[in-house]
Amino acid sequence: MQTNPTYSSLVAVGDSFTEGMSDLLPDGSYRGWADLLAGRMAARTPGFRYANLAVRGKLIGQIVEEQVDVAAAMNADVITLVGGLNDTLRPKCDMGRVRGLLEEAVEKLAPACRQLVLMRSPGRQGPVLERFRPRMEELFVCVEELAERHGAVVVDLYGAASLSDPRMWDVDRLHLTAEGHRRVAEAVWQRLGYDPEDIEWRTPMPATVAPGWITRRVTDARFARQHLLPWIGRRLTGRSSGDGLPAKRPELLPYEGPAA
């Protein structure tokens, strides 16, 4: 891959991970790794353009239906695609269908850009994840195969010990903190061929004293009440956290914002 390439545009496709939850800004909006990456790329290229079509809660079928053709038509230099993980967390998940839809997305996006970026998404440590880990790893095998077949690059976040640390995850246990998103932006930046700005993004955080049993139980109860039960409720009623929400940045326009 070219070192320190010149890319003039970026389109991000996906769900809440790419939208930037839970990297919350003071105005109530979300930043996230894709915005951070766009800021870095814009600092190197005058007139750099950026679109982020991601919407929280989207399944791979919705991403294909609502975002992929739009992204392909933008003819950006770089397109990032992260999707399918929400599907693996559903009780009834047809992995054959997920793989087929992901393949459809890659087949449309790869020829529409100079560089397609796929990811093996990060996964935090914890007992809940273990139930879904086989599906996640099946998804990631598909990602690797599609990347090899279509000339895409894969950013391996799943294999980064730093991002599996629970301290990198927000209280909802589903979305990365600001520091987690910063490390993802660095990972994508390096995978695109740019000189590293943080050579230790994979390095785990220093160990700290684990909270006591009572503190953990109180935290677990709060998590269940504020996040887990509402999430289950949406699954049972067929609703999504992204219902009715527009794309984050629906048009490919000059990037405006602080470089990261």
Task: Tell me whether strands 249-254 and 49-52 are parallel, antiparallel or unpaired.
Answer: antiparallel
C-beta neighbour count of 117 within 10 angstroms:
23
Question: Vertex 171, ends 166 and 175: CA angle to 5°?
Answer: 75
In this prediction, residue 69 carries a pLDDT of 98
Q: What's the predicted TM-score (pTM) here? A: 0.87
- Exposed/middle/buried for residue 10 (C-beta within 10 Å: 0-12, 13-18, 19+): buried
In this prediction, residue 214 carries a pLDDT of 65
In this prediction, residue 131 carries a pLDDT of 82
Q: Which amino acid is at 241?
A: S
8 prior amide bond cis, ω within 30 = no
pLDDT 10s per residue in the chain (260 long)? Answer: 678 889 999 999 999 999 999 798 988 889 999 999 999 999 999 999 999 999 999 999 999 999 999 999 999 999 999 999 999 988 889 999 999 999 999 999 999 999 999 999 998 776 667 788 899 999 999 999 999 999 999 999 999 999 998 889 886 768 899 999 999 999 999 999 999 999 999 998 776 656 665 655 655 555 455 545 555 555 555 555 656 789 999 999 999 874 44
Identify which of 53, 79, 80, 38 has the alpha carbon closest to the alpha carbon of residue 256.
Answer: 38
In this prediction, residue 22 carries a pLDDT of 79
Residue 93 — φ and ψ, nearest 5°?
Answer: -125, 120
C-alpha span between 252 and 37 (Å, rounded) = 15
Element (H, E) at 11: strand 9-14
C-alpha span between 247 and 258 (Å, rounded) = 21
Q: 3-state DSSP: the chain helix, strand, coil percent, rounded to 5?
A: 45, 15, 40
